[in-house]
Amino acid sequence: MHELGIVFYIIKDVKKAAEENGVTHVNAVVMDIGEVSTIVPDYLTDCWRWAVTKEPMLEGCELRINTIPAVTHCDACGEEYETVRYGKTCPHCGSGETWLLRGNEVEIKQIEV
Amino acid sequence: MTKNQEVKVIEIKKSIFADNDLDADNLRKELKDKGVFLLNLMSSPGSGKTTTLIRTLNLIKDKLRVAVMEADIDSDVDAVKIKEATGIESIQLHTGGMCHLDAEMTRQGLDNVPMDGLDLVILENVGNLVCPAEFDTGSCRNAMILSVPEGHDKPLKYPLMFSVCDLVLINKTDVMPYFDFDLAKCEEYVHMRNPKATVIPICAKTGEGVEKFAEWLLNEVNNWKKS
């Protein structure tokens, strides 16, 4: 259960940020999750709902997820393309000399208090 | 509207892996100071990690002082097996249901390993091709085992695992005739994800190729100590 471990990391960071800002309760957490980050948003929110019941500071706290579309850059032709549709091979020139530009994010964007 | 005005937004904009990455870098520095090399060995469940380790440990135990940390969700069967088959100190870590080890859990494990005079600690990570690749354990090198029955297309399906590994062992080569496993294709796929990865085919059951893994490990430990 990969997402549960991720939820524990989010909770740790959110509690730290709340304490640093003198906040006693967090109403919502907004995450940026990349399309190819290997995180399944539904599983993440399910685990979140269970985990926050154990944390008084996060009671009823909502988890909102922004999905970041994955984009790959091709070094051979300089074009960018949709990672999920074409994978590692550039649809413009067929090269495999490509790297992920964005879409791997697992970031806490902001918290609402 | 009044309710909205009460909401205060605190920008964080931070990767949840950031703390662990920092922790892992610190652990690597501490290990360097102590002269202890940490190898993080990953794979799917049942790929032959423990059998490969037993073969390898018996080849290197006269040349290096080694300890093993076994990470599993539950039980101590692996740690007991290693100790019985090689005489090497082996400790069992339980991840408490978690699918991977992070740098902090690795550090807690290492606290229970007598480090004096030790050259090498091998961490046998939880059997899983997804999560262990995402969490830097603080290891000096990452290695993984892909076994023949899993199929040669795995580097395409689990790209992150293959891109973080310095070494890919392809195990159970003795059963290759019974599976549609294309070794050349597999190597090609590994190198598509990670051009720098070393690939070594082995058979832990018969011992074939294991000496090449032992040699790789000895070289890595010695080079790292000199660096």
Weakest-pLDDT range from A63-67, B6-10, B163-167, B209-213: B6-10
Report yes or no: A74 at the B interface, CB cutoff 8 Å: no
Residues of B in contact with A13 (CB under 8 A): 12, 14, 16, 19
- Rounded-to-integer distance, Cα A44 and Cα B46, Å: 27
The owner of tokens 């929110």 is A45
Confirm whether B203 is domain-assigned: yes
Q: Which residue of A has its CA nearest to B132?
A: A2
| B181 CB neighbour count, 10 Å cutoff | 21
Which site among B3, B5, B12 would you substitute to test the A interface, given the most A Cβ atoms closer than 10 Å to its Cβ?
A: B12
Please report the number of interchain residue pairs, chain A to chain B, with beta-carbon separation below 8 angstroms. Answer: 70
Q: Tell me: pLDDT of B5 over 60.
A: no
DSSP state for residue B175 in the 8-state scheme: G
Residues of A in contact with B11 (CB under 8 A): 109-110
Q: Is-contact B43 B129, C-beta < 8 A? A: yes
Nearest to B183 by CA among B209, B215, B211, B206: B209
pLDDT of residue B1: 41
Weakest-pLDDT range from A75-79, A83-87, B182-186: A83-87
- Rounded-to-integer distance, Cα B213 and Cα A28, Å: 49
Q: Which helix (H) or strand (E) holds B5?
A: helix B2-6
Residues A3-33 have pLDDT tens digits of 888 999 999 999 999 999 999 999 999 999 9
Q: Which domain holds residue B98?
A: 17-226
Residues A28-42 have pLDDT tens digits of 999 999 998 888 999
For residue A13 the two structure tokens come to 């960071």
CATH at residue B110: 3.40.50.300
Distance in Å, alpha carbon of B189 to nearest chain A alpha carbon: 11
Identify the residue with better confidence: B159 or B56: B56
Nearest CB neighbour to B12, from listed A2, A5, A111: A111
Q: Tell me: pLDDT of A1 over 60.
A: no
Q: Tell me: pLDDT of B77 over 90.
A: no
ipTM: 0.84
Confirm whether B2 is domain-assigned: no
Nearest to B40 by CA among B124, B155, B131, B147: B124
* Sequential DSSP letters for A49-96: HHHGGG-GGGTT-EEEEEEE--EEEETTT--EEEHHHHTTS-TTT---
Neighbour order of strands in the sheet with B90-94: B90-94, B66-72, B120-124, B37-43, B141-147, B167-171, B198-201
Q: Which helix (H) or strand (E) holds B144?
A: strand B141-147
Report yes or no: B22 at the A interface, CB cutoff 8 Å: no
Report yes or no: A10 at the B interface, CB cutoff 8 Å: yes
Q: Tell me: pLDDT of B187 over 90.
A: yes
Amino acid in position A108: I
* Percent of chain B whose pLDDT exceeds 70: 98
CATH topology of domain A2-112: hypothetical protein PF0899 fold (3.30.2320)
Position B75 confidence tier, pLDDT thresholds 50, 70, 90: confident
Confirm whether B11 is domain-assigned: no
Per residue in B36-68, is it b (16+ CB within 10 Å) or e — as a string? bbbbbbbbbeebbbbbbbbbbbbbbeeebbbbb
* Percent of chain A whose pLDDT exceeds 70: 99
Report yes or no: B159 at the A interface, CB cutoff 8 Å: yes
List alpha helices for B61-170, DSSP H: 77-86, 103-110, 131-134, 154-157, 159-164
Nearest CB neighbour to A5, from listed B7, B10, B131: B131
Taking residues B201-223, what's their average pLDDT? 97
Q: Which residue of B has its CA nearest to A28?
A: B9
Confirm whether B47 is domain-assigned: yes
Average pLDDT value over all residues in chain B = 92
Residues of A in contact with B16 (CB under 8 A): 6, 9-10, 13, 106-108
Counting the structural domains of chain B, the total is 1
Position B2 confidence tier, pLDDT thresholds 50, 70, 90: very low
